[in-house]
Structures are given as C-alpha cells and as structure tokens.
Amino acid sequence: MMLLPLMAAVLLSQSPATAEPLPRRYALLIGANRGLAADEPLRFADSDARRMFSLFREAGGLLPEDAQFVTGADAARVRSALETLRARMARHAGPADQLVVYVSSHADGDSLHLSGTRLPVKELVRFVEEAPVGVAVMFIDSCRSGAATRVKGIQPVEERLVQWSTPAIQGRVIVTSSSADELSQESDDIQGSYFTHHLLAGLRGAGDLTKDGRVTLQEAYTYAYGRTVESTLLTRAGTQHPEFLFDLKGQGELVLTAPVSASSQLVIAVPEPGEWVVASEDGGVVLGVFSKGSGPVMLAVPPGGYRLRVRRDTAWLETRVTVPARGVAAVDAEVLRHGTLVASRGKMAEDAWRGGVSVGGTFATRTGGNLSSATGVQVLAAFHAPLVPRVAEALFATASWRSSRSTRWEDFRQREWELRLGLGPRFRGGEGTLLVGPEVGLLFLEQTAPGTSRTGLAPYGGVGASLWLDLGPVAVVLAGTAGAARIPEDSGPRLTARFGASGGVGWNF
C-alpha cells in the first residue's frame, strides 16, 4: 500500500524553514449575528469568528491568553475587549509581534452593526494603528442581509470602507470581503460566508502554493479572492471581489499560518487536482471546500472523524478518516471508494426550480341542484416563492366549466369561471415535484335560461395538490382540489361541497 510512503514523502519534502516558530500573535475576533432592528439576522457570523479563532490557535501560533474572542457582541463588549487587549499588549508586546483582527457582522459605510448598537469602524482602525506590534492584519467580513440568500455586505459608499489616516503606516494590512460598492454573501450550503469560508480553507493549507507547509498573506488572499469570485459568480446578489490594502515595507513575506506545525494534520496525497469537500462526522458540518491543485496538500484540521469527497467527470470518490489529536492522517487514491453520479436527464437542481405552467382538461362536481357535473379547461401556474426558505410554493389556477339541465319545459345552462390561489410546501423527488396546500378562490357564475340571464359570485376554500412529472422538456401535470363554495340561490346562499380534477401538459422554468 502506497499510503505511508506518500505521507512520508509529503512531510519530508518540507523545507527546514518550516520548523521556525511563528512570532507571538495577539488577536481580536468579533462575531455578531444580530445587527440593528432593521437588519435581518445573520446565521454564521458568530460561527465564522469561532472558526477563525480555532484556526489561529491550531496553526497560527495564537495562545488563548493573547486573544479576545467576542460573539453576540455589542459595541460596549467590543470596546471592553479592545481595552483588555490594549492593556495586555502594552505590558508584553514588542516590534517582533503581530496582531490579527477579524470581524463578521452587519455594517454600513461608517460603522459596524453589533446587537442593536453601532461601533464606528474608525475605532478599530485607531486600535490597529496604535498597537505596539510590528505587523497588524485586519479582516473585515461585514454585511447586511437580503431575502432569498442572506446578503451581508458593506453598504455602497463613495470611497473604500477603510482608509488609513496616515498613508505610510508601516506593517499594516486590511482585507475586506468585497469592494465598497458590492455586497458580500452567506451560504447555507457551506454554512458560512463565502469569503471567510475560502479564507479559512486557504489558511488551513489549501492556499499553500509553494508546498512549504506555511501560508503567507499573499497566498491566503490569492486563494480566497479567486474562490470567492468563483463561488458568487452566479448568485443573485452578484459577484463579490475581496479587496486588499497594505503597507509592509521591509517586511518581506508575511506568514499567517503554518499547517506543518499544527498538532493535527490531514494530508490528501491524491496527485490529481480537484475540489474536495471535507465534512465532520459529528453533525456533518462542512469544514471546508478545498480546491486542490496537482500534488499533495497538507491541511491543519481539528482532531476528529471526517468524510472526504471529490468529484470526477463521471463519478465521485469518497472516504472516511480519523485525524488524531497529535499526529497526521493521510489519504491516498487506494482508500477512496468509487460511486456513480446520479443521472438527472438534464433537470435543474432543486433550488434552481422556479415553477411551471400547465394547460389541460378539467372536471368538477356540480354546484347547483339537478345540474350535471362540469367539464372544461384549466390553466395552472406554480411559482417557487418561499416565504420560509425552501418551504412555501405559490399556486395560481384559473378554470372554465359548463354544465346544463334540460327538460321538456326548460333549457337551463350554467357557465363557471374560477380563480384559485394557494400556498404550501413543495416536495421534490427524482421524477418530479408535488405541491400541496390550502387554497382560496372565487367562482363567477353565469346562468342562462330561455328569456332570462343572471350572474353571481361564490367564494371558495379548500385544499389543492398538483403533481408535476418531468418528461424532459415537458411535464405531465395531474391536479386535484377538494373544498366548499358558498353558492348564491334564490332562497339564500348555500354551502356546497366542491371537488375537481384535471390533467394536462406543463412546461417547467
């Protein structure tokens, strides 16, 4: 088996320079899911800050006592953390030390929105400027929310979010998740913001282009920038472009993390390039979506069990691995299990389904005494319009029926037009989509007999369902309704049970 030789080759190929210790590092990490009252709560700001804190402890040389970690933060708690860290650096920090500041929250062009309060960005800038360290790096992933995907970002302003008050400050860096006139985004799929997710992946080792076991600021930014642009290219909020403002005169390469020095390491020794998904076995949390080039890659990860998966052209490869608390777990091609991609006949992914339109014949029970059951035509339109993400679908239907009653003395006819609106959950499977839920509507009745004509309105309420069976470019649509209508009669309104069924051809969009 090639596992051990490959693992040894990866580790021994590291430069002796990788053994050099990282400088002493201080850190301020801020996460706030809740912004101002008008901001929709974020889901991953706190957890993104927690993951950043863990990473710098694992592979960034950060000691817990040299960090201030604040989640669910408001402005008062952040100011308190600033003062605590400022006092500690005043006692212990020197020119050879470094400072890292990370923020994930809502923001506008001037201030962070932190749990119902505002913190001017200039206070953080002043803290970074005055820190008694040689190098300070600040990452800002601040944002506001949107509807379908939570949109989080710096509100558009005329200038960059942060400008240093002194243009020639030595050893200061700021990296923002997007440019000043763009939005940043969170993702349910990767359980974090796009920018922070890819920044973390790069710092864990995916960004180590030189394969020396250390990730520099330039390597981490290059990796995070490219992957963020790629991930947001087709999102409805639009592409976001991280920005990088720095002045590191005389500093050379700034190493942020050293995966080779982490106590727990995962080595993917599969030589082919690919995009790997690494998820924790404990709860299925996605640790990272890592874009790996040719050759092996070393990742600093917390100890525990992981599931790894990579896609190929016609198959996927998967394995499970346990990373020890102190040591290395390696994966090579021989331990990967093969599987075949699921055929979908060119159908769109579940979240890409926006709805469909159908036309077909319909049948409905009679609404008046001695009337025959009605036949007619129905048009259905279904829309993916979630009021709660991935739950609610809107349904619009209109139908026309005709029924009659004929005797020797009377020729009586009734024509009905119906409009129904429904809202309910969608269930999507391999062959089609089922929509089911409550409906309300209105019947317009027109009655004609020899020498007379009259009209009326009847409200309707009930339950409807429609099944959309995909057949390539078209769909077979079967629908049914059950409810009651309040029918106007000469003696007064009468509540009448109402049942209908239809079948037709539909087109998904």
What sign results for the dihedral spanned by CA atoms 159, 160, 162, 164? Answer: negative
Question: Which residues in 358-373 are b (16+ Cβ under 10 Å) and which e?
Answer: bebebbbbbbbeebee
Same domain membership, residue 310 and residue 186? no
In a domain, 3, yes or no: no
pLDDT at 306: 92
Same domain membership, residue 296 and residue 192? no
**Environment class of residue 44 by beta-carbon count within 10 Å: exposed (0-12), middle (13-18) or buried (19+)?**
buried
Q: Which amino acid makes up residue 75?
A: A
Query: How far is residue 150 from each of residues 179, 259, 300, measured CA to CA in Å?
Result: 18, 32, 29
Same domain membership, residue 179 and residue 234? yes
**Environment class of residue 451 by beta-carbon count within 10 Å: exposed (0-12), middle (13-18) or buried (19+)?**
exposed
The three-state secondary structure class of 326 is coil
Q: What is the pLDDT of residues 421-467, one digit of tens each?
A: 888 877 776 677 888 889 898 888 887 877 778 888 889 999 988 88
H or E element in which residue 48 lies: helix 45-59
Edge-first strand order for the sheet with 337-340 is 286-292, 274-280, 304-311, 315-323, 337-340
Q: Give the domain extent around 409.
A: 350-508
Same domain membership, residue 133 and residue 34? yes
Same domain membership, residue 487 and residue 367? yes
Same domain membership, residue 269 and residue 252? no
The ranges of the chain with pLDDT < 70 are 1-20, 143-170, 179-184, 234-238, 246-252, 313-314, 339-354, 368-372, 384-411, 429-430, 472-473, 509
The three-state secondary structure class of 332 is coil
Same domain membership, residue 320 and residue 425? no
pLDDT at 402: 62
In a domain, 8, yes or no: no
Report the CATH number at residue 212. Answer: 3.40.50.1460
Same domain membership, residue 308 and residue 253? no
In a domain, 412, yes or no: yes
pLDDT at 199: 94
Same domain membership, residue 481 and residue 385? yes
Structural domains of the chain, count: 3
Report the CATH number at residue 374. Answer: 2.40.160.20
Of 192, 226, 258, which residue is a domain's last?
A: 258
pLDDT at 17: 41
In a domain, 15, yes or no: no
pLDDT at 250: 60
Of 284, 318, 341, which residue is a domain's last?
A: 341
In a domain, 10, yes or no: no
In a domain, 17, yes or no: no
Of 227, 258, 289, which residue is a domain's last?
A: 258
CA distance 454 to 133: 88
Same domain membership, residue 303 and residue 332? yes
Q: Which residues are CB-neighbours of 431 under 8 A, at least 6 positions away?
A: 469, 470
What sign results for the dihedral spanned by CA atoms 382, 384, 385, 391? Answer: positive
Report the CATH number at residue 277. Answer: 2.60.40.10
Q: Indicate the length of the chain as a whole number.
A: 509
Following DSSP, what letter does each residue of 430-493 receive, concatenated? SSEEEEEEEEEEEEEEEEEETTEEEEEEEEEEEEEEEEEEEETTEEEEEEEEEEEEEE--TT--
pLDDT at 139: 93
CA distance 464 to 461: 10
Same domain membership, residue 387 and residue 331? no
pLDDT at 58: 92
Q: 129 is written with which tokens? A: 């400027």
pLDDT at 151: 38
In a domain, 7, yes or no: no
In a domain, 16, yes or no: no
Same domain membership, residue 498 and residue 386? yes
Backbone angles phi, psi at 420, to 5 degrees: -125, 145
